[in-house]
Amino acid sequence: MSWWEDIEIGARRELGIYTFTEEEIIRFARKYDPQIFHLDPEAAKQTMFGGLIASGWHTAAIWMKLAIESRKKETAAGNPLQRAGVSPGFSDLKWLKPVRPGMTLTFTNEVANKVELKSRPDMGLVESRNEARDQNGEVVFSFIGKGFVQRRPKED
């Protein structure tokens, strides 16, 4: 396990790649984002998007899925795992381009900033820049994630 102190600003990793299918775009939208351009491939053609697109929160949920899978792979490979805890939230989340059925996105994570917490001396905050790029390398989704990570205990 590694601590907040061990995390380096600028450290970058690829979380994984994911191909969105029409079936799962519609399934997510029925439950959480029932707007016509997420639900109905035919009707979506008449909208400004010109076809079905994924809910932006679906793209965000896939980021989470790949982040967890990546963490499991790193543990399995014997790499030190961050003592990560819960997240207080995020900022600057942007849906820059529509995500369509059949698109394959590559998700990455880069440590952007580390913040000491006066209220929680046993924890530190890590801010990371997260991106998803399409097959042409263009950024379609990005946000600044925030997570609490345990600090190395002080030796008495």
Partner 1 sequence: MSERLHFEDFTLGRVFDCGTYAVTKEEIFEFAREFDPQPHHLDEEAAKHSMLKGLSASGWHVCAIAMRMLADGILNKAVGLGGVGSREARWMKPVRPGDTLRMEAEVMEARPSASKPVGFVTFDCRVFNQTEQVAMISMTPIIGRRA
List of residues contacting partner 1 (CB under 8 A) = 28, 31-35, 37, 47-49, 53, 55-57, 60-62, 64-65, 68, 85-95, 98, 143, 148
Minimum CB distance to partner 1 smaller for 54 or for 108: 54
Q: Closest approach of Cβ 88 to partner 1, in Å?
A: 6
Minimum CB distance to partner 1 smaller for 108 or for 146: 146
Spatial separation of the C-alpha atoms in residues 5 and 151, rounded to whole Å: 6
Spatial separation of the C-alpha atoms in residues 37 and 57, rounded to whole Å: 14
Burial 19-48 (b: 16+ CB within 10 A, else e): ebeeeebbebbeeebeeebbbbeeebeeee
Q: Closest approach of Cβ 136 to partner 1, in Å?
A: 20
Instruction: Give the number of other Cβ atoms within 10 Å of residue 137's Cβ.
Output: 7
Minimum CB distance to partner 1 smaller for 108 or for 141: 141
Q: Closest approach of Cβ 72 to partner 1, in Å?
A: 9
Q: Closest approach of Cβ 49 to partner 1, in Å?
A: 7
Burial 50-72 (b: 16+ CB within 10 A, else e): eebbbbbebbbebbeebbeebee
Minimum CB distance to partner 1 smaller for 48 or for 156: 48
Minimum CB distance to partner 1 smaller for 32 or for 135: 32
Q: Closest approach of Cβ 80 to partner 1, in Å?
A: 18
Instruction: Give the number of other Cβ atoms within 10 Å of residue 147's Cβ.
Output: 20
